[in-house]
Chain A
Amino acid sequence: MGELLRDHEEQVVNRWAQSVDAPRDELLELYRAILGAIEQGGGDLADLRGLLTELSRSRARVGYSPAETSKAVFGLKGAFYEIVVADADTEVLRGFIRFARLIDDLGLFTFEAYAEAREKIIMDQAEQLLELSTPVVKLWDGILAVPLIGTLDSARTQVVMEKLLEALVETGAEHAVIDITGVPAVDTQVAQHLLKTVFAARLMGAECVISGIRPQIAHTIVTLGIEFGDIVTKTSLADALAHAFRRSGVQVSGRPATHVTVRAEQA
């Protein structure tokens, strides 16, 4: 089988390049790697896999779908089959079946390599987003703020809660403002997480204010029947900060003419 592949290299690669949408040089390199693997007895596929992973990635970058890449690999079967048929020896045909099986594996491998690369990018981004989207910022000595933006799911609220509680210990802050201006909807689960966070902070001696409650959120919370109890809530972060100032005895002096408005865009 290896002999046949070597003897007809030129012909098979030309035919292959014609039938699939890929540069001939790339196919030739791949062809030689496959040939090498077959001549070694097909045991060591590490080099070949490396080459295929690279091929799969580079083609993905320029916009080929994983199916197109696998098809390009499968195309070798058709190109080689023409040579095998001309020979028509039973032994050669049997060899071709083994060869076809190897090509099938390789084609599927390119698909897997593509999916793996994708998966990794998505996981990295999800993690980055989780980290990035939940900052705990210091507004004043002893006053922390957590501006929440976007949809809150369990994982994110969990991260927020942990980060806030850690920051309370680190800074010794006694006031925290959780701002939900950028949260499009508050359902019972989100509310429950918020309540738990506030109670946990309270156990640590810190008072939490929830700010950024917009009319539609207030309406929904009331309709759902969620009780916020004695937790202080404010419409804007500015109000919450003013509240925290009063509670911690900070006095702000300045011209009262400036009016601060906080507006929430729909996320």
Chain B
Amino acid sequence: MTREAVIESSADVVAVRRLVRSAAIEVGLSLIDQTKIITAASELVRNALVYAGRGELRVDVVENGAKRGLRLVVNDEGPGIPDIEQALTDGWTTGTGLGLGLGGSRRLVDEFDLLSKPGQGTTVTVTKWAR
């Protein structure tokens, strides 16, 4: 089942965490993995909110043979990321945060894919597999 959410305020970030939690429980992720994917979702949608002002999230349950997992696609139409390597470096930020959100999210999930071009928005796709 696909779930979708639009992020326009910080209250929506809270709603996203709840949405991802229920999906993660449904897929059968362990408590630690649930917390990891929820945290990654929280980081990614907040990035969309902070840098683009608005974003969209799609949550899909995916299967790979016997394995089930959760795939999140966070999409925004913001300014885009000019240097992706730099953006993924810990401690690097153009905002006021800790600069760990993007790089940290990559470590929290099993698969991480970032598509971005200056002026064309950013799409991050992450997947967490149930063990």
Residues of A within 8 A of B (CB): 151, 153-155, 184-189, 191-192, 215-217, 219-220, 223-226, 266
Contacts and interface: CB of A to CB of B under 8 A. Distances in A.
A216 B11 contact: no
A184 B100 contact: no
Contacts of A217: 35
A189 B14 CA distance: 12
Contact of A153 (B11, B34, B103, B104): B11
Given A187-B46, A192-B98, A153 B36 contact: no
A146 to B, nearest CB: 19
Interface in B83-103: 90, 97-98, 100-101, 103
Interface of B: 10-11, 13-14, 17-18, 21, 31-32, 34-36, 38-39, 42-43, 46, 90, 97-98, 100-101, 103-105, 107-108
A14 to B, nearest CB: 47
Given A220-B35, A225-B90, A225-B104, A185 B97 contact: no
A191 B98 contact: yes
A87 B25 CA distance: 67
Contacts, number: 73
Majority DSSP secondary structure for residues of B touching A: helix
Q: Which 5 A-B pairs have the closest CB atoms?
A: A224-B104, A216-B35, A187-B42, A216-B32, A185-B38
Contacts of A225: 90, 100, 103-104, 107
Contacts of B21: 184
A189 B36 CA distance: 15
Give the interface centre of A186, A217, A219 by most chain B CB atoms within 10 Å.
A219
A219 B101 contact: no
29 contacts: A151-B14, A151-B17, A153-B13, A153-B14, A154-B10, A184-B21, A184-B35, A184-B38, A185-B42, A187-B42, A188-B100, A188-B101, A189-B42, A189-B97, A216-B35, A216-B36, A219-B36, A220-B39, A223-B107, A223-B108, A224-B39, A224-B105, A224-B107, A224-B108, A225-B103, A225-B104, A226-B100, A226-B104, A266-B31
